[in-house]
A = this chain, B = another copy of it.
Amino acid sequence: MIVDDIHRTHYSDQIHDSIVGEEISIAGWIEDIRNIGKMAFLTVRDVRGATQVIVSNETLKKAIDTPRQSAVIVSGVVQPSKSKDFHLELKAGKIAIVGEALHPLPIDPTGRVESGIDKRLDSRALDLRNPKTSSIFLLRSKVLDNIRMTLRSEGFVEVNTPKIIGSASEGGANLFGFEYFKKQAYLAQSPQLYKEQLVLALDRVFEIAAYFRAENSNTVRHLTEFLSVDIEAAFIDYEDAMDLAEKVIKNVFRLQMADRKDYALNDLSICRLTYEDCLEELRKEGEKLEFGDDLSDASLRTLGKLHNGFYFIKDWPVELKPFYIHEKQDNLRLTQSFDLQYGYLELISGGQGQLTL
């Protein structure tokens, strides 16, 4: 580990008692400067946390003249701190300013002054330095990793299917079309038909990728581009598929919640209601619904109140599911299908097909 003007030797969370007295360097951005005359306290934040830096003498002027949020590399010696917020601190020997920030800043990334979403998006890099914002990205990355781990441990192979397709494969509604060298092409809405072909040989496949729907609805629940976790397996039925969905969800919670005593994972049992169970429950709540009616947002909100957290709705009528979902053998009006709900939100949609070569 070389202490120079370019390289960090430690992230903020690697500064422990065991390195007191050592010369190290950290890299991040100046979140705060408190000038108390002969010295100043800097808070230098990186993606993993914050470090208190003490500057005095020759580095003092440079430090207090640097605009907040400037990117810096600070080398110095680790020492115990008298601050109530920091157990250890860095006594700065050298400060290199590798990127000087604008002054004044367009938004306050510390969160002390709130900004509207438009202003935040205009200065997104700065907005991402708010730990509240970046934590979403960090958690998301962990969850994706966790989903992949579960699927791989269950024997699934990761595949990548085409996003540019030549024909409107799934009905053709809500497709983005474009010209592809004088031919018509579309952006894929899902890898459904590719997945089905792939499992005929690879047995179990998954893909995590962006898909596209030309949804002309300006709501938070209609996205034109979204990340989809697609899973397909041969030789299983739709109850097995629900078991797998449950395993994926539970593992996400298991890893993320490992350090939270207040979260009892074993309590997470996901009940499997039928579509007709739901109709009955909704009728009891006064809704006028007939077999074959889709469950509206209002209906799902009612169900979400009756069933806290996760629940499945299975055995949907044929008319509400796409052609590749098979009918139930004992009732041809129903399909071997399910949705996984979290309250009123649909998280997963699945079902059993029937394919032959």
Contact = CB atoms under 8 A, between A and B. Distances in A.
A134 interface: yes
A357 B126 contact: yes
Contact of A357 (B99, B138, B176, B355): B99
A36 interface: no
A237 interface: yes
A341 to B, nearest CB: 24
B201 A128 contact: yes
Number of copies: 2
Interface string A189-223: 00000000110111110000110101010000000
Interface in A93-139: 98-102, 105, 124-126, 128-129, 133-134, 137-138
Given A102-B357, A152-B145, A178-B178, A202 B128 contact: yes
Interface in A55-105: 69-71, 73, 98-102, 105
Nearest to A6: B237
A27 interface: yes
Contacts of A11: 155
A164 interface: yes
Number of contact residues on A: which range applies?
A: 35 or more
Contacts of A178: 176-179, 187
Contacts of A227: 160
Given A128-B198, A148-B148, A357-B125, A157 B137 contact: yes
- Interface-central residue, A214, A225, A235, by most chain B CB under 10 Å: A235
Given A137-B159, A212-B164, A201 B101 contact: no
A356 B101 contact: yes
A157 B355 CA distance: 38
A122 to B, nearest CB: 12
Contacts of A46: 203
A250 interface: no
A231 to B, nearest CB: 14
B141 A159 contact: yes
B27 A201 contact: no
A197 B157 contact: no
B152 A99 contact: no
Contacts of A307: none
Contact of A197 (B99, B100, B124, B214): B124
Nearest to A218: B181
Contact of A202 (B102, B134, B145, B202): B134
